[in-house]
Every structure is written in structure tokens, then in C-alpha cells.
């Protein structure tokens, strides 16, 4: 009964709680146990549902013919560069916010729409921090490609969610169903902390990015091993 309970939808959780309590001969009036089991089952089933939602967004390729996709891309520019207008949709200006070429759509291949949604979320909810980090990423010696690194950190957040490493963090953070919002918040934490980490480490050049990315990845994985962990921007 309990094994099946961790695979049910939200609507079936209440019934599963009753079934488990009946099977284990726990009185239905034991409200403390009932409440805790209910929350726990929501968290477990919700984690799986969140992963599927994130995965589905990742699978959506960026489509320059899709009006919504294009609007989000322009919104990203306007949030980060409010005093400078784009001269064209395809322009070298995109390099100013850390894309590789004239058209950002080619940079979203690995993470699909998820990469763009993450970048926009951070820029919208932490606008001052995003602009500050963009400015720091233009450092003459320690600079890095802001948008490309942002997409790279989307991949890190996605992989940590996929392999279950985010369970303690999300279970401690959310008393119930974790939502896409909570995944975005974790992404924001990664962006902010990676920028600090990069400047503290003072890499010899951007050519060593993969080495330092892996070091940062190991640091985050270590923090997530703490059963009381909550990693959010204060």
C-alpha cells in the first residue's frame, strides 16, 4: 500500500493516507500522523511531477517563429539592458548580455525553452542582482559570458533535480507540492552563488571554465547532502 502511495496523483493522496493507516492499524483520529503522512506523500509525488514539468519545458525547442518565445527573449534584453534598444532581432548586440553570436536561439539547443525561462525569471525577480552580475561578467580579466553561463547553470539545476539531489532542499522548503517556482528559485541561487564563487576563485582564464564549473557543482552537491539544507537567495 505504501509503495503504491508514492506514485499517486495529488487527488488520490487522501485515500492513500487512509489506506496506510488502516493497513498499519493506526487510529484515524491520530491527526498528527495523518497530517505528516499526507504532507510527505504530497512532497514525494510532487517532486516527480515537478521533474516531469521541468523536463517537458526543456524538451521545447526555442522557435523564432513562436511569438511567445520571441517576446520572452526581448523581455530578457529589456530587463538587462533598459537603456539600450536592440537595433535588430539578429544583431551582435546579443553578445553584450553573453550570447555567443548574432542569434540567441542557437544557444538554447541543449536546455530548450527552460534555459530562457530561467534567465528571464532571474532577471525579472532579481533585476538589480541580474544587472550587477551582468556588469561583473564583463570584467576585463575575470569576465565570462553571462547568458551562456546562465544556460549552463540551468543544466546543473536540471541534472540535480533529475538525479534526486534536490529532494532534501525541496522537502525542507515546501510543506506540500513543490512547484516550478521553487525550481526557478533554486536556479537563481545557483546564478548568484556561481558569480561569487567565480570571482573568489579568480580563474586564469575563461578557458578553464569547465574545471571551475565542476568544482562549483561538487560544492553544491556537498551542501545538498545535509538533510536540513535549504538553498535560497535571502
**Mean pLDDT in residue range 125-152:** 97
Residue-wise pLDDT for 45-88, tens only, equals 899 999 999 999 999 999 999 999 999 999 999 999 999 999 99
Tell me which residue of 150, 151, 136, 153 sits closest to 200, measured CA to CA.
Answer: 136
Give, as one character, the DSSP assignment of residue 6. Answer: T
Give Cα 210 distance to the centre of its chain.
19
pLDDT band at residue 27 under the 50/70/90 scheme:
confident
**Mean pLDDT in residue range 101-105:** 95
Between residues 205 and 197, the one the model is more confident about: 197
Output the pLDDT for position 2: 78
Amino acid at each position: 500500500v505504501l509503495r503504491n502511495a508514492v506514485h499517486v496523483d495529488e487527488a488520490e493522496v487522501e485515500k492513500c493516507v487512509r489506506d496506510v493507516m488502516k493497513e498499519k492499524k493506526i487510529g484515524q483520529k491520530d491527526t498528527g500522523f495523518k497530517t505528516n503522512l499526507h504532507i510527505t506523500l504530497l512532497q514525494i509525488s510532487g517532486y516527480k511531477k515537478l521533474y516531469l514539468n521541468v523536463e517537458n519545458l526543456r524538451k521545447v525547442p526555442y522557435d523564432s517563429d513562436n511569438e511567445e518565445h520571441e517576446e520572452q527573449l526581448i523581455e530578457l534584453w529589456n530587463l538587462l539592458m533598459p537603456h539600450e534598444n536592440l537595433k535588430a532581432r539578429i544583431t551582435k548586440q546579443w553578445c553584450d548580455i553573453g550570447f555567443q553570436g548574432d542569434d540567441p536561439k542557437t544557444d538554447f539547443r541543449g536546455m530548450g525553452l527552460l534555459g530562457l525561462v530561467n534567465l528571464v525569471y532571474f532577471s525579472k525577480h532579481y533585476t538589480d542582482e541580474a544587472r550587477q552580475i551582468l556588469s561583473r561578467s564583463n570584467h576585463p580579466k575575470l569576465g565570462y559570458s553571462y547568458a551562456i553561463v546562465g544556460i549552463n547553470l540551468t543544466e546543473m539545476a536540471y541534472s540535480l533535480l533529475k538525479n534526486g539531489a534536490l529532494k532534501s532542499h525541496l522537502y525542507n522548503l515546501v510543506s506540500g507540492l513543490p512547484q516550478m517556482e521553487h525550481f526557478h528559485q533554486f536556479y537563481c541561487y545557483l546564478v548568484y552563488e556561481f558569480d561569487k564563487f567565480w570571482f573568489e576563485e579568480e580563474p586564469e582564464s575563461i578557458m578553464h571554465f569547465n574545471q571551475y564549473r565542476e568544482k562549483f557543482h561538487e560544492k553544491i552537491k556537498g551542501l545538498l547532502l545535509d538533510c536540513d539544507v535549504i538553498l535560497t537567495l535571502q
